[in-house]
Structure 1
Amino acid sequence: MILLSIIIIPLIGLFLISITSTYSINSNANINIFNIDNNIKVIALVTSIITFAISLILLILFDPTTPEYQFTYSFGSSLPFASNYQIGVDGISLYFVVLTTFLFPISFLASWKLESSINNPTNIKFYTSTLLLLEVLLIMVFVVTDLMLFYIFFESVLIPLFLLVGIWGGGPNRVRAAFLLFLFTLIGSLFMLLSILTIAYYAGSTDFEVLNNYIIDTNFQKILWLGVFISMAVKFPLWPLYSWLYRAHAEAPIAGSILLAGIVLKMATYGSLRILLQFLPDASYYFSPFVQTLAVMSVIYASLATLRQTDFKALVAYSSVGHMGIVALGLFSNSIQGVEGSIVLSLAHGLVSPALFMLVGAVLYDRFHTRTIRYYRGVVTYMPVFSVFFFLFSIANAGVPLTGNWIGEVLCLMGSYDMNPIVGTLGSTGIVLSAAYSIWLFNRVTFGSYSKYLNYTTDINRREFNVILPLFILTIILGIMPNIVIDNIDISVSTLLYNIKLYIILILT
């Protein structure tokens, strides 16, 4: 019931927001709308905080000594394509659920300044409802134990994301960016749907437990693997399927950027672990050199492209492509340390990248209303606290020791180096390049004489500080004590890879 409550509470919050009355528009509508907006924001924030608190109970009670699903809840056979609709978490999905519930209170606080207008008094109601619906759908992606249901929720996430970018985006190209996000993911996922339907036809079920005991022919696996991988390559995203990402980030509202970087990209990590490595192990081993080649190209190309960016939201978005390329290197390294490193790096990136988007996409943009880097200089003159946080997260993004990014990147690169030293060496160039663009951005924005294009401003306020500080604390904790994550995922990852290696041995013999 603990896991079920994590799903129900956002739905309750969604219901409370939907019944919040809207006053008629009159001469005093400004005051009424303002009060309604605050009530709706408080309901959404409190709901997300309660959900996060319950997910911490989930984390505390989790038993890391077994690879089996825990906190399971069965809904019976009420759905025609799911023989026994069940939800649950194991070591692989646990931290993705916690990361999801953690980032939604951050998203609500980050977008607190969004207000309704006289002509559109339901703006905040629609906005917060969209975010709460997105939270439910994202949680369901990580807790369902049926392949068809995974696909349904994997695709359903697109709808609220499309609305977030297309309606509340901050630029004139937001509709185009929303359609690119929608079409890229939808078209890529059609191939995954064909693979899932084929698996269901031959195995007779899409339940994870049934599929774990069903062995698919090696040559047939390769065809199914390609269908699923196309969808995951778009979500990572890997070269050359990345063009939707930086456009969506640049146009999205701050909550959209936080959730895109923090959670949505991690759906590819989870999907690769749950489908490609678990159910198509021989094909994953066969295509590992191909995936690592694409990952290395993504790391190098995205890092070099980042150095040329003039929009700082696009710069942070391109850096995400490079980091997720390293995650792909670890995932398909066929080693325990590589796979565990990919999970740790995914979690660390889910903390650092949202913080950078908050700093440049909300703190700076709200004050100066431009994302063009060349207009900024000498911000430390009036914003010393901002500059300290900006420095800390810039070097964390570059993967310095004592941060979660460093632990994750080292494990991923060690795993890929053991499989192929050339790939590991080329992938490590991303560390140098990420340091180059991170330090350049920080130095350009922070130091020097104060820019003549910028007006006088104030440092970060209490709300912005409360958004950024938890992200920083968790980044340091993950860097100093990575075993709090690794110990809980080790059994699940080891079981997954042990089954892969055992299966490969059986095939070869």
Structure 2
Amino acid sequence: MELSIVLFFPLFAAFFGFFIDEKSIKTYAIITSFIELCLTLFLWYKFDAINNSIMLEVIPFIPNLGINYILGIDGISLFLVVLSAFICFVSLISLNISKRKKHLIISILLLEMTMMGVFLSLDAILFYIFWELSLIPMLYIIGFWGSENKIYAAIKFFIYTFFGSIFMLLGLIFMAYLHYKTTGSYSFSILDWQRLAIPKNTQIWLFLAFGIAFAIKTPLFPFHTWLPYAHGKAPTIGSILLAAVLLKMGTYGFVRFSLPIFPDASYYFANFICIIAIVMVIYTSFIAFYQKDIKQVIAYSSIAHMGVIMLGIFSMSIEGISGAIFFMVSHGLVSGGLFMLIGFIYDRTHTKEMAKFGGLAKIMPIYATIFCIMILGGIGLPLTSGFVGEFLSLLGIFKTNPWFAVLGGFGIIMGAIYSLNLYKLTFFGKITNKANLTLPDLKSFELCAIIPILVLVLVLGIFPNTLLVWINDGVLNLLSFMYDKASDETTTKFIKSANELRMIYGK
């Protein structure tokens, strides 16, 4: 029951939002999003990681077709659910848009519901419905409240993601048919699919069907071109939600579907995906360095960071996958915080060109200090959450292929170069625009929005086990399951050598 309440509370909040007047709608949204955050924290409180449990809710829906209402949460999805609620809460506090504000807030609450649905669903049809529904509010947010060429950006975002979803739908249908051929009954339960013995060649084709959808959403090179444009034209709150949560739906899909259901195919494609991820990290880092738009720098840095996450996932090691999930949370905080900060300065200056910002540290010292810490979190400085995620992801891939780790590390060094260059051009040197001399520092509502993010970036960097205890448990179960299910001996040897857990696996 708790999972259903977390899932549908934003929907009810959005519905009742229609009856709230324009002046009170932001306060109403902040209160309801805070309640949703408290509900997700209650899930964390109830979650029993020590006993390797998974919280489940199952209600038969169309049993003859194997379609059921199945929600579940484990160490892999728990903190992505909490992250979604937290980011929606702080982004609503930071909201500074007056144009049709009620419609925007209702769209955000509906988007929150779809994000919860993706991370909670353990029925593939339910997962697919929420995956597709997430396109609608984001399309509306970009297309209505975005900047110049917003319609093109919104349509490009929609077409890319919808194109990938077609392949996933075909994969879902074939998986249900495969379950019928094997057991005599249809099923869209992800847990049932995980128990299926699927030949390696079939796994390869199904991995591609699901993988295309996940790769576009992540986005993996060369499917990344929609993201910088969407970020560039989206309103601030759209960029925050897109970078902090929506991108994680793609990487989460690889962990939830690809690894446990297609373990042999995952190993088969692991090196190829890691090479693509490295190209993505290095290529987008070089592009980020030459950007003049501050928002585009952070957009390309997001793509690079998602590449590091993919390296961790396809290392198939407990360090790598746990680090990747931790990095998803960390990147959500850091990228969301940076886009929020960029939105604050854009509201004051109505420009995103770094050349027009020089010397801001003298004018807005509090803003400059917070921006500095968030940039350092993005770089992966020790004692920030970014360091833990990057280090564990690279450690995991180092155990399986040291050269991948070295090249990935080079991309991270590039990230430090363009991030520090951004900070230097924006905050140091002479004041290049005299109009900036009168800019006010952060307002109280802006501080209320950004300070919680800042605190979490530091707390998780100093005390990473706050999350890792639960994440490690879920990943250990995943790897143990992959090892037992893999039919190809090279896959089992790879998983065993990557994790050195022979006593646990028992093979």
- Output the TM-score relative to the length of structure 2: 0.93
- Tell me, in whole angstroms, the C-alpha distance in 2 between the residues paired with 1:66 and 1:302: 42
Aligned mates of 1:145, 1:81 — CA distance in 2: 16
Which residue of the partner structure matches residue 140 of structure 2? 163
Note the residue ranges of structure 1 that are not aligned, 5 or more in a row.
21-35, 117-122
Could you tell me which amino acid in structure 1 is paired with residue 11 of structure 2? Answer: L
Residue of structure 2 equivalent to 1:401? 382
SS in 2 for 1:471: helix
Matched with 1:419 is 400
Structure 1 match to 2:188 = 206
For 2:503, the equivalent position in structure 1 comes to none
What's the CA shift for 1:389?
0.5
Query: What CA distance in whole angstroms lies between the structure 2 residues aligned with 1:370 and 1:428?
Result: 33
Q: What's 1:128 paired with?
A: 105
**2:174 aligned with 1:174, yes or no?**
no
What is the 5 A alignment of 1:22-421?
A: 36-70=21-55, 72-78=56-62, 81-111=65-95, 113-116=96-99, 123-169=100-146, 171-203=147-179, 204-360=186-342, 362-421=343-402
Note if contact 2:57-2:71 (Cα within 8 Å) is conserved in structure 1.
Answer: yes
CA distance in 2, matches of 1:400, 1:80: 53
Code of the residue aligned with 2:163 in structure 1: it is: I
CA distance in 2, matches of 1:133, 1:67: 32
2:464 maps to 1:482: yes
> CA offset at residue 437 of structure 1?
0.8
Aligned to 1:2: 2
- The 8 Å contact of residues 375 and 453 in structure 1, kept in 2 or not, is answered as no
CA contact (8 A) 2:61 2:69 kept: yes
Q: CA–CA distance in 1 between the matches of 2:447 and 2:65?
A: 47
Q: Check the 8 A contact 2:315/2:400 in 1, yes or no.
A: yes
Give the counterpart letter for 1:417 in structure 2.
F
- State the alpha-carbon separation in 2 of the partners of residues 453 and 318 from structure 1: 30
Structure-2 residue corresponding to 1:29: none
Equivalent AA in structure 2 for residue 447 of structure 1: F
Contact 1:82 1:146 in 2 (8 A): no
For the residue of structure 1 that corresponds to 2:441, the secondary structure is coil
> Measured at CA, do residues 312 and 81 of structure 1 come closer, stay the same or move farther in structure 2, by a change above 3 Å?
farther
Deviation at 1:231, TM superposition (A): 1.1
Residues 487 and 102 of structure 1, relative CA distance in 2, 3 Å threshold: same
Q: CA 1:419–1:283 in 2, change beyond 3 Å: closer, same or farther? A: same
Q: How far apart are residue 319 of structure 1 and its match?
A: 0.2
Distance in 2 between the 1:67 and 1:230 partners? 31
CA drift of 1:242 comes to: 0.7
Q: Secondary structure at 1:205's aligned position in 2? A: coil
Q: Amino acid of the residue matched to residue 44 of structure 2? A: L
Q: Secondary structure at the match of 1:87?
A: strand
Counterpart CA distance in 1 for 2:233 and 2:199 is: 44
Q: 1:388 is aligned with what amino acid?
A: T
Offset, 1:488? 0.6
State the shift of 1:114 in Å: 1.3
The runs of at least 4 aligned residues of structure 1 exceeding 4 Å deviation read: 78-82, 505-509
CA contact (8 A) 1:37 1:115 kept: no
CA displacement, residues 17-62 of structure 1 (integer Å, 9 cap, x when unaligned): 1223xxxxxxxxxxxxxxx322111111111000001111111121
**Alignment check: 8 A CA contact 1:393 1:472 kept:** yes
Provide the rounded CA distance (Å) in 2 between the counterparts of 1:422 and 1:435: 20
Kindly, what percent of the aligned residue pairs are identical?
A: 37
- 240-249 or 61-70: which moved more? 61-70
Q: How many residues align?
A: 484
Q: Give the 3 Å change call, closer, same or farther, for CA 66–284 of structure 1 in structure 2.
A: farther
Query: Quick check: 2:326–2:389 contact (8 Å CA) kept in 1?
Result: yes
Structure 2 CA distance for aligned equivalents of residues 149 and 13 of structure 1: 21
Whether the 8 Å CA contact 2:67–2:123 is kept in 1: the answer is: no
Corresponding residue of 1:23: none
Using the alignment, how far apart are the partners of 2:193 and 2:52 within structure 1? 16
Shift of 1:209: 2.4
Cα deviation, residue 502, structure 1: 2.8
| 1:91 CA drift (Å) | 1.0
Gaps of 5+ in 2: 180-185, 493-507
